Chain A
């Protein structure tokens, strides 16, 4: 069975500081990894997916199969980045998604 671990419930950083939200997973096959974000009073929405290798709102995430990690990074945090972030995994080709427990990012002005 697949599992997603986000070790930090809360991460506080100052504006302009680098951000790294940690995500580790366990799955024996080739998974697809995602980051979802939930801003205050907004719906949970997809931020980025590893297969796209894209940068969204300055965030990037690299899939490291050796360390089974998919950490979310941004070089300079902005106040508007404050939100709840969920790492998620799905077995390739399947619709069922397993979410981590989430990390609340708080950017201090």
Chain B
């Protein structure tokens, strides 16, 4: 298993542009999480899904951020319009309810730079 897959690995865009980040969770996992990592705030949970349904989106910073999970093997995080302060590393993680102690498996992350 390749683990959690994220694309692209790096994204450089200009302010005002739409950005779409993609994630493929580990097969069989029923939870999917989107995190944002910055030096100042560490790792912040943005939103998570259970069985493709959004459960908690209280961490989504603004209406410019949206996330979808159309099926069990794919999720997107979209930022429209993007701003320089959105520059960060975005991680996707997955887990399954039957696992030990709620261990989460992380993807490699997408490094987003908004100019």
B31 interfacial by beta-carbon distance below 8 Å:
yes
Given contacts A43-B106, A43-B108, A44-B91, contact A95 B97 (CB under 8 A): yes
Known: A44-B91, A51-B101. 12 other contacts (CB 8 A): A6-B42, A32-B102, A43-B108, A44-B43, A44-B93, A90-B102, A95-B95, A96-B45, A97-B33, A99-B42, A101-B42, A102-B42
Q: A25 — which chain B residues lie within 8 A by C-beta?
A: none
Cross-chain contact A86 with B42 (CB below 8 angstroms): yes
Question: Roughly how many angstroms separate A51 CA and B66 CA in the complex, as a whole number?
Answer: 35
Flag if B103 contacts A46 (CB, 8 Å). Answer: yes
Q: Which residues of A contact B55 (CB under 8 A)?
A: 96
Interface pairs A-B: 4 shortest CB-CB: A101-B42, A99-B43, A44-B106, A49-B101
| Contact size range, B | 20 to 34
- For chain B, residues 79 to 98, give those with C-beta under 8 angstroms from any C-beta of chain A: 91, 93, 95, 97
Which chain A positions have C-beta within 8 A of B44? 99
Residues of B contacting A: mostly: strand
Are A46 and B104 in contact (CB-based, < 8 A)? Answer: yes
Please name all residues of chain A whose beta carbon is closer than 8 Å to the beta carbon of B33 when the two chains form the complex.
97
A40 CA / B56 CA spacing, docked (Å): 30
Q: Which residues of A contact B105 (CB under 8 A)?
A: 45
- One digit per residue, 1 when the CB lies within 8 angstroms of any chain A CB and 0 when it does not, for chain B 36-72 equals 0000011111001010000110000000000000000
| B56 neighbours in A (Cβ, 8 Å) | 96
Within B9-53, which residues are at the interface with A (CB < 8 Å)? 31, 33, 35, 41-45, 48, 50
Q: How far in angstroms is the closest Cβ of chain B from A40? A: 13
CB-CB under 8 A for A43 and B107, given A95-B31, A95-B48, A97-B102: yes
The answer to the question of A70 belonging to the interface, with a C-beta cut-off of 8 Å to chain B, is: no
- Judging by beta carbons under 8 Å apart, are A97 and B45 in contact? yes
- Distance, CA A95 to CA B93, complexed state (A): 11
- Nearest CB in chain A: distance from B99 CB, A: 9
Q: Which residues of A contact B93 (CB under 8 A)?
A: 44
Q: How far, in whole Å, are A99 and B109 apart by their CA atoms in the complex? A: 16
Contacts of B3 in A (CB 8 A): 43
